[in-house]
Amino acid sequence: MIWLSLPTALVRHSHLWAVYRDCGACFKPVKRLLRDSVPCNDRRGILLGNMMYGMKKDKEKKERLSGEERRTRIIDAALELFADKGFSGTRTREIAELAEISETLIFQHFKTKEDLYRAALRELFGQHPVMPDIEEMMAKKDDFGVFSTLALHVIRHNRQDRRIMRLAIFSALEGPHLADIFRDRKETEPPLPELLGGYVQQRMDEGAFNRKVNAQIAAQLFVEAIFMYVADQEASVSGPPLPFSDEETVDTLVRIFIDGLRK
C-alpha cells in the first residue's frame, strides 16, 4: 500500500489540489487523518466529502436571513400551500420545508397557524390594492367608471395571481370562520362589497340612484357576479367560457347594473 503526504496526494488529483489551495481552511478537520492513517486510495472520497461539507457551511452563512427576510419566506411558502391545499390541508411542517427553515421558527414569528393565515392574506391582498384604481373616479362620481374599473381590477388581478380565487374557494368550503377571516381584510382595504356599498349609498343619498334599492345587497350581488364570471372562465361551471373580451363583458354587466340603480 502506498502512503503519500497530503500535498502529494492532492497534486495527483489536480482539481482537488485547486480546492485545497483555495479553500484549505475547509479541510482542517481531516488533514491529520489524511496524513496519519488513510491510504491514498481512500483520500479522494474523504476530501470530496469534506469539500462538500465546507461548501454547505459557506452556503449556510451566505443564506443567513434577517428576521424580516425569514418572515417573508414563511408567508410566501404559506400562501403557495394554502392556495394549493387549503388551510386545513396544509401542515406547518410542510410550510417549513418549502421555506427551507425549521418548523420551530414559524412559531417564533406567528403564534398560531391561523395568525400565519391572516398575515398571508394581508400580504396577498396588499399586492392587489383596488383603491388606487377607483378613488379618483369615486371623487368625480363617475358611476360607470367606478363599477367597470372595479370589475376589471378583480378579473385581471385574479388572472395575474390565481391564488386569490383558490383561497376564496377554499375559505368558503372550510367553514364560516375561515370565510370570515378571508373577507375581513380591513387592515389592507375594506372588503369590496362594503367599499362599493358605501359608494352606492352615497349616490342614493345624493339622488343619483333609486332610494328603494338596498345598497349593501346591490353591492354584494355585483361583486358576486364578477367572481362568478372569473370562476366560470376558469372552471366552465355554467358551460363553455364566453367568447368575448373581459372589457365587453364588463361593459354589459355595468350598464345593466347602473341602469337598474337609476330607475
Burial class, 90, CB count within 10 angstroms (exposed 0-12 / middle 13-18 / buried 19+): buried
Asked if pLDDT for residue 31 goes beyond 50, the answer is no
In angstroms, the CA 38 to CA 47 distance is 11
User: Is 1 contained in some domain?
Assistant: no
Residues 200 and 85 in one domain: no
**Which domain-ending residue is among 125, 143, 162?**
125
Report residue 184's pLDDT band, with 50, 70 and 90 as the boundaries. Answer: low
Number of domains present in the structure of the chain: 3
Report residue 50's pLDDT band, with 50, 70 and 90 as the boundaries. Answer: low
Residues 140 and 164 in one domain: yes
Looking at residue 257, what is its pLDDT?
95
**Which domain-ending residue is among 25, 42, 62?**
62
Q: Which domain holds residue 98?
A: 67-125
Its pTM stands at: 0.65
Residues 109 and 149 in one domain: no
Tell me what the mean pLDDT of segment 59-87 comes to: 82
The CATH number of whichever domain residue 209 belongs to comes to: 1.10.357
In angstroms, the CA 108 to CA 93 distance is 14
Tell me what the mean pLDDT of segment 78-94 comes to: 94
pLDDT in tens, 121-161: 888 887 778 888 888 899 999 999 999 999 999 999 888 88
Among the residue ranges 83-92, 186-195, 221-230, the one predicted with the least confidence is: 186-195
Residues 120 and 155 in one domain: no
Residues 173 and 242 in one domain: yes
Residues 79 and 162 in one domain: no
What's the chain's average pLDDT? 78
**Which domain-ending residue is among 108, 125, 142?**
125
Residues 106 and 194 in one domain: no
